[in-house]
Structure 1
Amino acid sequence: MSSTFTIAAAILLFFALLVSPSSSSACNKQDEKALLAFKNSFLYTSLKWSPSTDCCTWDFVGCDNTTGRVTSLYFENNNIHPESIFLNGSIPSATGDLSSLETLRFRGITSLNGPIPPQLSKLKKLQSLEIYVTQVSGPVPSFLSELTSLKELKLGYNKLSGTIPPSLGSLAHLADIGLFGNQLTGTIPASLFGGLNPKSSLVSLVLSHNKLTGSIPRSLADVRVSSLYLQNNNLDGDASFLFGRSKFLTQVSLANNNLAFDLDKVEFPLGLLFIDISHNKIYGSIPAQIVELPNLSYIDVSSNRLCGKIPSGGKFVQLPAENYEHNKCLCGTPLPPCK
């Protein structure tokens, strides 16, 4: 009888352990304290976080299932649910106490304001930092270069000002930089992506819609740039070094700058999908090699100083006349015939 009872008890205990939550899955107490301090730092917030529940179950919080450490905070308002999340104030300094955080994102939180706090420099495991469409202001801080695990930095459509810190180039994993739609001034640092292994990382750089000046750094020719958006700045000089048959560029926009170079001497990358170099001072003609590009779906060379016949044939997609207009003497379909 005792033997049967012992076996039955063991079976019950086994199933009880299966269905009961393990102690490691509960939210880390230090992280819970930091999250509550995060919530309480706002003048007003719609967050419903309560210490009576496991903080790994709280909205917008992601945890590691094994350790219970908080690894992500992701706040987003969108067109479907505008202002469903309300965070009235600046990014809390307590965010820096979430030492296992890998992802931090604020998207469309227009009540978020103030500078990026220096306490974020403590987040040594942070891989993705995104602050997008907010009222966050001040400089792009140089202390971001202390985030040694950072792979992605997207600070688009905020009120950031000042210059781009050259120290960002020291980060060994940062291959995706998006600082678009701000009020940034000065030049593009030649040091950007300098810490990357140039043979192992495809690079994305989006600095459009700022007030940047000077020339595009030639150091960008030494990395495998895939996406490059620099439109709507005040950049000048030669940008032809960005191109080449064996380059990795798939998307590039240099529109609305003061760039000047001979397009005749450009070889387009074979993987090019999209190119907009309109509203510059580019001269020469459109290279005939463009008809060899198998995936090109968009080109805009309008408002430059180009001449010659527009190439045709191959897989080249014919685009509207407006994509070629306002040049010195371009001709041929879809513009009037060449004389």
Structure 2
Amino acid sequence: MTRATILLLLLLLLTLFFSSSSSSRCHDGDKKALLAFKDSFFSSSLDATWLESTDCCSWHEVLCDKATGRVNFLQFNNNFPPAVLLNGSIPAAVGDLSALEVLVFRSHPALVGPIPPQLTKLRKLYDLTIVGTGVSGPVPSFLSKLSSLQQLDLGRNSLSGAIPPSLGSLAGLTDIRLNDNQLTGTIPASLFSKMSKQYLAYLDLSGNKLTGQIPSSFGSVEFVYIYLSDNRLTGDASFLLGKSKNGPYRVNLTRNGFEFDLSKVEFPDRLGRLDISHNKIYGSIPDQITQLRDLLWLDVSYNKLCGKIPSGGSFPLFYDKYYAHNKCLCGEPLQPCK
């Protein structure tokens, strides 16, 4: 092979390399949808980076599948630079990103309006996160059409109304976070009813206006954590615990109207944090809780408990305020028992 032939081949390879690297990887339909998404806002910092002349897979907040060029990850997380400030409502055009798997809007207080029904076209979406925004209206029942959904985080918004029972039809939905909204009504018994027993559930409904009792069906759900604090819930919540359970690891039931005999409760071995303060719980603190090696937080204040506070285990870590304002608890770190 002559020197001229070698140089010609090298030139051809370089030409192919630069032409392929400069060509757009982004799917044409996805790029069109993203540009429509951007144009739906009156103004945003997307204007400076989302340019029609560039590959949309290189845009901030966008990730594509390397093999197909399809947009599968769209994250607007205002907690991390480069910050993108969104002002307006969630554009319907996001529903045209049919390969999307993860959609995140976090810490955008000027993002307002309802959750658009066009999201139901995202049949591959497994993570929908809309947190810390001004999004309002109900938690839509049409979210049950997102058959691939595994995590639903709609915390710290202005959502109102009832939790749709239809969310329980999603067998893969193991993580539900609707905390710090204005939700009312009862907790649907259908939640997690289709979930495989091999999975652990996450539930955060704290900071709402929910009423009624915890569904008894939750007694058969293995929770990693369950946060129901700052609601108006009543009844017996002790069935969430149990020595035979793998979890929950964290339980927060504070500031409700729960009423049950704590002395009859057995605690799961892996329990790490338990806050049952500001309820109507009576009885005594069982000695069995001192055997929990992972217990790092216990707050039983503002209840109707009596008897001697157990000693041993993690109990020397807990201050007197965690036992305060009960009927007749005594012993360290409170007053000695008579």
SS in 1 for 2:209: coil
Which of 212, 215, 229 aligns to 1:214? It is 212
Q: 1:309 to 1:138 in 2, by over 3 A?
A: same
SS at the partner of 2:185?
Answer: coil
Which residue identity lines up with residue 258 of structure 1 in the other structure? G
Partner of 2:328: 329
Deviation at residue 315 of structure 1 after TM alignment = 4.2
Following superposition, the deviation at residue 164 of structure 1 comes to: 0.3
Does the 8 Å contact 1:293/1:316 carry over to 2? no
TM-score (normalised: structure 2) = 0.94
The change in CA–CA distance for 1:53 and 1:322 in structure 2 (over 3 A counts) is same
Q: 8 Å contact 2:143–2:167 — kept in the other structure?
A: yes
Tell me the amino acid that sits aligned with residue 120 of structure 2.
S
Q: Using a 3 Å threshold, how does the CA distance of structure 1 residues 236 and 74 change in structure 2: closer, same or farther?
A: same
What is the identity, as a one-letter code, of the residue corresponding to 2:215? P
Q: d(CA) in 2 for partners of 1:173 and 1:13? A: 50
Asked whether the equivalents of residues 45 and 87 of structure 1 are also in contact (C-alpha less than 8 Å), the reply is yes
Look up the match of 1:182: 181
Aligned partners of 2:289, 2:23: CA distance in 1, in Å? 58
CA distance 1:29–1:290, change in 2 (3 Å): same
Aligned to 2:238: 240
**Equivalents in 2 of 1:325, 1:94: separation in Å?**
54
- Distance, in Å, in 2 between the alignment partners of 1:267 and 1:167 is 33
Which residue of structure 1 aligns with residue 337 of structure 2? 338
Q: Deviations over 1:249-276 (max 9, x none)?
A: 1000000000000101111110011000
Provide the rounded CA distance (Å) in 2 between the counterparts of 1:172 and 1:24: 41
Pairwise CA distance, 1:95: 0.5
Structure 1 residue aligned with 2:56: 55
Does structure 1 conserve the Cα–Cα contact (< 8 Å) formed by 2:72 and 2:100?
yes
Residues 24, 55 of structure 2: 8 Å contact kept: no
- CA RMSD, aligned part only? 1.9
Q: Note the alpha carbon deviations across 1:65-91, whole angstroms, 9 max, x for none.
A: 11111111111223x76x942221110
Return the alpha-carbon distance in structure 2 between the equivalents of residues 8 and 41 of structure 1. 51
The aligned counterpart of 2:291 is 292
SS of the residue aligned with 1:144?
A: helix
Q: 213, 223, 228: which is aligned to 1:225?
A: 223
Letter matched to residue 152 of structure 1: Q
Task: Supply the AA of the counterpart residue of 2:324.
Answer: E
Q: Is the 8 A contact 1:155 1:178 kept in 2?
A: yes
CA distance in 2, matches of 1:69, 1:185: 39
Q: Distance in 1 between matches of 2:100 and 2:183?
A: 28
Corresponding position of 1:201: 199
Q: Cα offset for 1:287?
A: 0.7
Q: Which moved more, 1:165-174 or 1:11-20?
A: 11-20
Q: Secondary structure at the match of 1:336?
A: coil
Distance 2:149 2:120 in 1: 11
Residue 125 of structure 2 corresponds to 126
CA contact (8 A) 2:24 2:54 kept: no
Shift of 1:14: 4.6
Q: Is the 8 A contact 1:28 1:70 kept in 2?
A: yes
Contact 2:63 2:74 in 1 (8 A): yes
Q: Which runs of 5+ in 1 are unaligned?
A: none
Deviations 1:23-82 (CA, angstroms, capped at 9, x unpaired): 99611010000001101111222212110111111111111111111111111223x76x
Query: Distance between the aligned counterparts of 2:15 and 2:85, measured in 1?
Result: 41
Pair 1:269-2:268 in alignment = yes
Q: What percent identity do the matched residue pairs reach?
A: 59
Q: Letter of the 2:199 partner, please give it.
A: S
Please name the residue that 1:142 is paired with.
141
Once the two structures are TM-superposed, the CA of residue 316 in structure 1 deviates from its matched residue by 3.7
Q: Would you say the 8 A contact 1:275–1:300 is kept in 2?
A: yes
Counterpart for residue 109 of structure 1: 108
1:279-337, Cα deviation, whole Å (9 max, x unpaired):
00001101100110001000000000000111111344431111001001100001101
- Whether 1:253 aligns to 2:252 is yes
Stretch deviating more after TM superposition (35-44 or 204-213): 35-44
1:60 corresponds to which letter in structure 2?
E
Aligned to 1:76: 77
TM-score (norm 1): 0.94
| 2:312 partner SS | coil
How many pairs are equivalent? Answer: 335
CA distance in structure 2 between the aligned counterparts of 1:179 and 1:116, rounded to whole angstroms: 14
Give 1:213 shift: 0.2
Corresponding residue for residue 94 of structure 2: 95
Q: Which moved more, 1:118-127 or 1:44-53?
A: 44-53
Distance 1:21 1:222 in 2: 55
